[in-house]
Amino acid sequence: MASEEKSLHFIEQIIEDSIATGFPQNKLRFRFPPEPNGYLHIGHAKSICLNFGLGLKYNAPVNLRFDDTNPAKEEQEYVDAIKEDLQWLGFKWAEERYASDYFQQLYDWAVDMIKKGKAYVDSQSSEEMAAQKGTPSQAGTNSPYRNRSIEENLALFEGMKKGDFKEGTHVLRAKIDMASSNMLMRDPLMYRILHRHHHRTANDWCIYPMYDFAHGESDYIEQISHSICTLEFVMHRELYDWFLDQIYDESTVRPHQYEFARLNLNYTVMSKRKLLQLVQDKVVNGWDDPRMPTISGLRRRGYTAAAIRKFCETIGVAKRENIINISLLDFCLREDLNKTAARVMAVLDPVKLTISNYPDGEVEWLDAENNQEDESAGFRKVPFSKTIWIEREDFLEEASAKFFRLTIGKEVRLKNAYLIKGESVIKDENGQIIEIIASYDADSKSGSGTEASKRKVSGTLHWVSAEHAIETEVRLYDRLFLDEAPDSHTEKSFLDFINPNSLQITKGYVEPSLKEVQPGDQFQFQRLGYFIVDKDTTASKIVFNKTVGLKDSWDEKGKSEENSLNNALKDINKYFKVNTREERIAIRKNIGATIAGISNYSLLQNSFKKNINNNKSSLLFAQLLIKYAFLQFSDYNKEDIMKLFSMSLKSESTFVRSRALLNLAILDNAAFLVALQPELENLQNNPPKSTSERETEFLENLMNKF
């Protein structure tokens, strides 16, 4: 029992406590409430798995409710896409509901609140309302329309409903407390005028309820017991409860709101607004572009529903925000595809290889295992002939002993086939290899049991018979963003971090067993990665999308860069211990080369900020980051860089001060120099005992610029 309790996440524990204190389990009811203003993304998948998972665990109904209260942004296309995504993920909803189903009831409740003096029509502009709302530390002031009579409010609200007024002329506000410490409680908006066509109610309404009013009341109408939201709605809970207080009947279930941490993934943006911008600016080819984090994009890329569900289960449900490494999602995917995807051979960067001693015109059909992880998958036949395609990178005319693939005079195995040895090459007029000549050992056939077949070689290559190969289009997808936190930098747009190589299209060759593939079929191209047949495939053209590689090159690169930077920071301590200028120059150049090789913007920024402290090694390292990193001066936060130079110019070390002065000369930013003028003058007038001749020279050169 104890281990079972430990396995419960905090929302499950809340539900267990509700049941233990008398809440009837048959009254449990949950909902997934998307706004149909965009496609669902991987962050929504976490909420979907949570809500529908609770439904399955407690045998409770889960509604799919579209919070469609803003016709300016909502479309039927999004409704249809959301339903398709949910079904693909493997979940079934109890009832399909819409907030628009409740427009009349919500309006009636609003009228009742006006009659009770709990709501009023405000005729201020949005700017005036924002000004009178106050600040977190200063109470707001009452609207001049707050004390309108009930009769006037009812008449105005009725006129708003009929369409008598233009957008922005009036709003309905709840009358709560303009001095509340929670600014959301300072007479929040309940209704606004929108003369827009609604995807379900057409032009029946000219006023639409605000989310905070409609959401909780919709939960109440549906008798939702546990309304689960993400953490940004914590401050909204007080308002959620206040609106329920106005309508709650003790004979019914009262919904309660609970918040959990949303999913934050590195190398990704989750904002619907930013995803829409990617689509509208044609950075990607639609919402289902395989580089998008949308569920439809992930599906088209080849991510499986099982992998996404496993990912959501693995990251769990927590109260605290954190950033999940997208490599974990890819790990879950590889685990799933490793069990289910058939192995086939494909060559994506082909070079012709001719086996000189293989009989002309002969074709052998060899046995190839479909999936070594699944005994029931069986075998298939692949053709072998005199001329085959291999990957260009699998051959070097001259290679070191550490090159374990084909080269002149070296023997390797062709997967499921024979041992071959490189003999010679044929080149075009530009020196490019266009054909490799090799010989084969006829007694070395895989699985034949001969002594030759058991001979150990250093490498095994995949290949495709040139005579039988099917030419295909292969779309090699990679991460859309180069930075691990593309939308977290105030000095940069997330679009600045678009990966220019996120899509590369090539022509490849696949074995003939793939002739009849259908969109959605998934395979492991041996030694290359996992691929899926794209929906653009036709009878005359097969299109494959790369889903994910066999290894996580991004994670390896990220760890390598982080380790390199950490080692460089350690090396800087040597700078202060060596005795000669030549030794210091050598250390600085080595550190500079390491920094220059780092391409991770966030890693550099974080390292820069972390090293702005009074430690001389840290200050020098931060100054070297400015000199050698690919970042521009404008990429740095102004306060951070001012703090760094101010501290560096006051450092006890002449090496730190000198590097700061050199960097100032290189930056050559007049405004920045003026801001630092007091520190520079103080350094000139009160030079520390450790001041060197070089430092004095650097300082004089700078001061001459004033």
Positions annotated as catalytic residues are 35, 262, 272
Q: Any binding-site annotation on 47?
A: yes
Asked if residue 629 belongs to a known ligand binding site, the reply is no
| Amino acid making up residue 314 | T
Which stretches does DSSP call E strand in 511-568?
522-525, 529-533, 543-548
Burial class (CB in 10 A: 0-12, 13-18, 19+), 595: buried
On whether 271 is known to bind a ligand per the annotation, the reply is yes
Non-local (6+) Cβ contacts of 177 within 8 A are 185, 186, 187
| Euclidean distance between CA atoms 80 and 36, whole angstroms | 9
> Is 67 flagged in the annotation as binding?
yes
Residue 149 corresponds to which tokens in the numbers above? 């009579």
**Tokens 């790990």 belong to residue:** 331
Residue 171: what residue type? Answer: V
Structure tokens at 76: 């039927």
User: Rounded CA gap, 104 and 627, in Å?
Assistant: 64
Pairing of strands 323-324, 96-98: unpaired
Question: In sequence order, what are the residues at sequence separation of 6 or more whose Cβ sits closer than 8 angstroms to the Cβ of residue 294?
Answer: 39, 40, 41, 42, 275, 287, 288
Is 342 marked within a binding site? no
Is residue 684 a contact partner of residue 647, using CB atoms and an 8 Å limit?
Answer: no
| Tokens, residue 20 | 């233990």
42 is in an annotated binding site: yes
Q: Is 2 annotated to bind ligand?
A: no
Please answer whether residues 65 and 33 qualify as being in contact, where contact means their C-beta atoms are separated by less than 8 angstroms: yes
Query: β-pairing, 395-396 with 406-407?
Result: parallel
Give the pair of three-digit tokens for residue 188: 């929040």
Buried b / exposed e over 192-209, threshold 16 CB at 10 Å, is bbbeeebbbeeeebbbbb
507 known member of a binding site: no
Is residue 228 marked as binding? no
Whose structure tokens read 């086996």?
Answer: 355
Residue 424, annotated ligand binder? no
H/E stretch holding 171 reads: strand 171-174
Q: Write down the residue that tokens 């997934």 correspond to.
A: 32
Please check if 671 is assigned to a binding site: no
Q: Is 180 annotated as a binding residue?
A: no
**Cα 281 from Cα 274, distance rounded (Å):** 10
Is 100 annotated as ligand-binding? Answer: no
Cα dihedral 216, 220, 223, 225 sign: positive
Q: Per the annotation, does 89 bind a ligand?
A: no
Sheet holding 171-174, edge to edge: 119-122, 171-174, 189-193, 207-209
Closest CA to 405 of 356, 446, 460: 460
One-character DSSP codes across 46-68: HHHHHHHHHHHHTT--EEEEE--
Any known ligand binding at 416?
no
At position 138, the amino acid (one-letter code) is Q
Alpha carbons within 13 A on the beta-carbon side of 220: 24
| Ligand-binding site membership of 39 (annotated) | no
Polymer length of the chain: 706
Establish whether 37 is an annotated binding residue.
Answer: yes
d(CA 261, CA 230) in angstroms, rounded, equals 6
> Do the Cβ atoms of 168 and 124 come closer than 8 Å?
no
The answer on whether 162 is annotated among ligand-binding residues is: no
Write out the binding residues for ATP: 35-37, 41-47, 230, 262-263, 270-272
Would you list which residues are annotated within the binding site? 35-37, 41-47, 67, 211, 230, 262-263, 270-272
Binding-site residues for L-glutamine, please?
67, 211
